[in-house]
Amino acid sequence: MGSSIGVGLIGLGTVGSGVVRLLRDAPAAMQRRQHLDLQLRRIAVADPAKKRAVDVAADLLTANAMDVVDDPDVQLVVELSGAAGAREWIAAGLERGKDVVTANKAVLAQHGEELFGLALANGVDLMFEASVAGGIPIIRSLRSGLVANEVESLYGILNGTTNYILTRMTRREGGYREILADAQEKGFAEPDPSMDVSGMDAAQKLAILCRIAFHTTGTGEDVYCEGIEQVDTLDIEYARELGFTIKLLAIAKRGPGGVQARVHPAMLPSESLLANIHDEFNAIEVVGSSVGTQVFSGRGAGQMPTASAVVADMVELAERKISGAGSAGGDMILDDGAASLADMSELEIRYYLRLLVEDRPGVLESITHIVAQGDISIASVIQKERDLQGGTVPLIIVTHEARERSMRQAVAAMNELDGVHEEVTVIRMEKL
Amino acid sequence: MGSSIGVGLIGLGTVGSGVVRLLRDAPAAMQRRQHLDLQLRRIAVADPAKKRAVDVAADLLTANAMDVVDDPDVQLVVELSGAAGAREWIAAGLERGKDVVTANKAVLAQHGEELFGLALANGVDLMFEASVAGGIPIIRSLRSGLVANEVESLYGILNGTTNYILTRMTRREGGYREILADAQEKGFAEPDPSMDVSGMDAAQKLAILCRIAFHTTGTGEDVYCEGIEQVDTLDIEYARELGFTIKLLAIAKRGPGGVQARVHPAMLPSESLLANIHDEFNAIEVVGSSVGTQVFSGRGAGQMPTASAVVADMVELAERKISGAGSAGGDMILDDGAASLADMSELEIRYYLRLLVEDRPGVLESITHIVAQGDISIASVIQKERDLQGGTVPLIIVTHEARERSMRQAVAAMNELDGVHEEVTVIRMEKL
């Protein structure tokens, strides 16, 4: 008891600097933890000569991440580099019997099975609260707080950039491209925003949550994924009229064919909690067999929220080690019973379709004929007199529950019609 | 490693039966935890002969709670009795070196200092996730997930019964007495609802949260407390008109004079997340120095949500013990630096006042004179033509931020006026 824990940091960028700051200005809750003594012993950075946002002793710095991993005074490796070598460094730390904390969702989503297996085999722990939803303690809530539940479903707003863009579009502050450009200028969106706007960032996070909640082994690529690039302000306005709000949702649900995992723009009832998560905030709604519906919301990114999650993991690991505990064990490891992620074709859901159609007799009839052939039942149709754009008008179709496979066939057929201009926009409508 | 943990249960009522059921039908997440083996070894009940909602072997039962505490095969005592002896049994368990889980908020709010001290002195842990907000993992989120934060404020809807009543009043389903009676009939409110409707239940929960978040030693009695008995449907209608929703809020904030802790009906902006927590749901909004604003919501009571929280604590304690860890340590114990709960008189906030006044010249002038003397600035006044009730009309005054002390003096003076009938209703307006 009372011995200190040597910390090695890989990466001293935004989040790494935040972690250093929190270790220095330890909040009261950390100071009050008896025997907790975290000592920063080694820091790997790309360029040790570069000026830093936080003061650290020059002799702590190294340009070689393996120096951190190999340092005998480092018992806890904190990987925050976002670099290509992250998987290797995490693995090396675990193999040397060191606990590891990482915020790297891409590595966990892709190599989770290998890395959690290494942790178990070496009697150490790999923690990753910061990898999903920033400062929201969703990982420990699922692993520990809700351990006495079968998770039935999980709906998340897991990407702050896209939620920020959709929120501003919903506030009528502009169209997708305009707001994205503005967000990039202000630093709210990456110079290359493709991971965010394509939904892939959310899909990787969802794969991590699915591993905990549903014991699946799928990676980000196994998650069905559509981004927000096709969402038009028109869709947002029609959604509003129908009482819905458009969000980029990450959804996982237990179904007959396995666990269904998907990321796509979705219409949510405007009075639902998730529809009211604005700007860059994240939220996760979990339905558990014992607890029912729970919602967690907060900042999903940013320096200090993310650093807060990293330090929470560090404190937990250090306390465990100091109190003499072994590894937390293999709840992240999947045995033969691991479920796979189901494909989408059996999904049954309501659909919103927006078509740009020629304003002439027969077009609507061709469309409704296709819909009827697919055994899809229409709930409502909206076609208003609008400023004609070269003789075309927007046509909105809202269906009753229909099967994804049928809908895809129907949409493909609509896209072939002479009277239909542009690709048909399809947005799924979630009940929650 | 791999040894089983003997569990002793005190109380086999609603929550106790739920715990037994969860131990039997262990969800996958529990089954996947290596080495976790919880064995129910002894159960204390008031009447061992009574028919039970769950099947338990008759030889496990005893009428004496101390049999559970003293049983050498019991390492983990789970106190769910709600009985007067709870404090004594919890203390006895800790003194015998056993970990204890309880859902008893009253005992923790009143005797926390003693009991957490006993746990520390005996190298064991006292866990209590179920004591606040049922299945929502707010205790472990504050203790662990947000450990790298100074908590700046905490706003909670911590009582399901009152939220249910206010929600139905807001939906125009009746007045306070009528809905309370209906809730009692349906079993949603206790036959004696005074702990709930007076705000005392929420105040006890707030005292527990304040211990974690602000390291205060106050009990439920140190929390300023007003109930919902005086909230009229008229107030709910005026609130709606002003863009607000009335909730029973439990609020704790760091301020100049210490930590301010209060439970009272409050008007919240109707578009805020907390205003949209309906029915028997609970929610807690926490602002942390690193993470910013986070919201947790879910079912705050009920058999399985509460049992879920109890079992989460049991799993954590058992895993800790099995892996050879010592006690989690003294983060719940307060040293000399413990803050006290501040009194209310320095509070500065906006107020809503509803008066029933005689509809004659001079009355409004007397009232505005009192307000001006208190250096209170009026933001708006609503007085509509309504069905006169014996020559009186409702008068609504909304103030700018004013000091609680001045407001109390002003209200006392208004209550003395001839032209003012009934006590003035005062509801604080929270910004969030």
The nearest CA of chain B is from the CA of A407 a distance in Å of: 34
Residue B359 has a pLDDT of 87
The nearest CA of chain B is from the CA of A53 a distance in Å of: 17
- Give me chain A's average pLDDT, please: 93
- Give me chain B's average pLDDT, please: 93
Task: Map tokens 């007495």 to a residue.
Answer: B177
Active site residues of A: 205
pLDDT tens track for A351-373? 999 999 998 889 999 999 999 99
Catalytic option among B51, B98, B186, B205: B205
Segment B262-289 shows an average pLDDT of 96
Name which of A334-343, B82-91, B200-209 the model is least confident about. Answer: A334-343
How many Cβ atoms from other residues are within 10 Å of residue B53's Cβ? 14
A115-A121-A124-A126 Cα dihedral, nearest 10 degrees: 20
Residue A258 has a pLDDT of 82
The reply to whether residue A27 touches residue B327, judged by beta carbons under 8 angstroms, is no
pLDDT category at B338 given cuts 50, 70, 90 is low
CA proximity to B160, closest of B131, B134, B123, B125: B134
Residue A327 has a pLDDT of 77
Taking CA atoms, what residue in A is nearest to B274? A273
B305, B312, B320: residue with CB nearest A325: B320
Interface size, chain A vs chain B, as Cβ–Cβ contacts under 8 Å? 232
Spatial CB neighbours of B409, under 8 Å, sequence gap ≥ 6: B374
Taking CA atoms, what residue in A is nearest to B289? A304
pLDDT category at B28 given cuts 50, 70, 90 is confident
Q: Distance between CA atoms of B145 and B237, rounded to whole angstroms?
A: 39
The reply to whether residue B134 touches residue A271, judged by beta carbons under 8 angstroms, is no
Residue B394 has a pLDDT of 92
The nearest CA of chain A is from the CA of B66 a distance in Å of: 28
A27, A215, A291: residue with CB nearest B150: A27
The nearest CA of chain B is from the CA of A296 a distance in Å of: 5
pLDDT category at A337 given cuts 50, 70, 90 is low
Segment A43-70 shows an average pLDDT of 95
A276, A316, A325: residue with CB nearest B323: A325
Taking CA atoms, what residue in B is nearest to A272? B276
Residue A19 has a pLDDT of 98
Percent of chain A with pLDDT over 90: 81
Higher pLDDT pick, A320 / A413: A413
Segment A269-293 shows an average pLDDT of 96
Q: Distance between CA atoms of A29 and B92, rounded to whole angstroms?
A: 28
Residue A1 has a pLDDT of 41
Instruction: Judge contact between A282 and A163, C-beta under 8 A.
Output: yes
The reply to whether residue A34 touches residue B330, judged by beta carbons under 8 angstroms, is yes
Q: Which residues does chain B have within 8 Å of residue A319's beta carbon, measured at their own beta carbons?
A: 328-329
pLDDT at B137 over 80: yes
Residue A250 has a pLDDT of 98
The reply to whether residue A273 touches residue B271, judged by beta carbons under 8 angstroms, is no
Q: Which residues does chain A have within 8 Å of residue B134's beta carbon, measured at their own beta carbons?
A: 291
Taking CA atoms, what residue in A is nearest to B135? A291
Segment B142-154 shows an average pLDDT of 95
Q: Which residues does chain A have within 8 Å of residue B160's beta carbon, measured at their own beta carbons?
A: none
Q: Which residues does chain B have within 8 Å of residue A285's beta carbon, measured at their own beta carbons?
A: none
B292, B297, B315: residue with CB nearest A294: B297
The nearest CA of chain B is from the CA of A391 a distance in Å of: 41
Residue B418 has a pLDDT of 93
The reply to whether residue B299 touches residue A289, judged by beta carbons under 8 angstroms, is no
A33, A147, A308: residue with CB nearest B315: A147
Residue A343 has a pLDDT of 76
Q: Which residues does chain A have within 8 Å of residue B296's beta carbon, measured at their own beta carbons?
A: 294-296
pLDDT at A150 over 70: yes
B136, B150, B305: residue with CB nearest A290: B305
Q: Distance between CA atoms of B274 and A273, rounded to whole angstroms?
A: 10
Query: What angle (nearest 5°) sits at the alpha carbon of residue A301, between those of residues A299 and A306?
Result: 95
Domains and CATH numbers, chain A: 5-135+303-322 (3.40.50.720), 144-299 (3.30.360.10), 348-429 (3.30.70.260)
The nearest CA of chain B is from the CA of A232 a distance in Å of: 25
CA proximity to B394, closest of B425, B428, B350: B425
The reply to whether residue B290 touches residue A137, judged by beta carbons under 8 angstroms, is no
Task: Map tokens 């205003």 to a residue.
Answer: B275
Q: Distance between CA atoms of A110 and A89, rounded to whole angstroms?
A: 15
The nearest CA of chain A is from the CA of B147 a distance in Å of: 6
Mutate to test the interface with A, among B24, B152, B216, B290 (most CBs of A within 10 A): B290
Percent of chain B with pLDDT over 90: 81
CA proximity to A165, closest of A232, A112, A219: A232
Task: Report the predicted TM-score, pTM, of the whole model to 2 decimal places.
Answer: 0.94
Percent of chain B with pLDDT over 70: 97
The reply to whether residue B136 touches residue A1, judged by beta carbons under 8 angstroms, is no
pLDDT tens track for B158-199? 999 999 999 999 999 999 999 999 999 988 899 999 999 999
The reply to whether residue B32 touches residue A331, judged by beta carbons under 8 angstroms, is yes
pLDDT category at B1 given cuts 50, 70, 90 is very low
Mutate to test the interface with A, among B20, B38, B147 (most CBs of A within 10 A): B147
Taking CA atoms, what residue in A is nearest to B124? A323
Q: What is the 3-state secondary structure (H, E, C) of chain B?
A: CCCCEEEEEECCCHHHHHHHHHHHCCCHHHHCCCCCCEEEEEEECCCCCCCCCCCCCHHHEECCHHHHHHCCCCCEEEECCCCCCHHHHHHHHHHCCCEEEECCHHHHHHHHHHHHHHHHHCCCCEECHHHCCCCCCHHHHHHHHCCCCCEEEEEEECCHHHHHHHHHHHCCCCCHHHHHHHHHHCCCCCCCCHHHHCCHHHHHHHHHHHHHHHCECCCHHHCEECCCCCCCHHHHHHHHHHCEEEEEEEEEEEECCEEEEEEEEEEEECCCCHHHCCCCEEEEEEEECCCEEEEEEEECCCHHHHHHHHHHHHHHHHHHHHCCCCCCCCCCCCCCCCECEECHHHCEEEEEEEEEEECCCCHHHHHHHHHHHCCCCEEEEECCCCCCECCEEEEEEEECCEEHHHHHHHHHHHHHCCCEEEEEEEEEECCC
Name which of A20-34, A108-122, A356-370 the model is least confident about. Answer: A20-34
Residue A386 has a pLDDT of 64
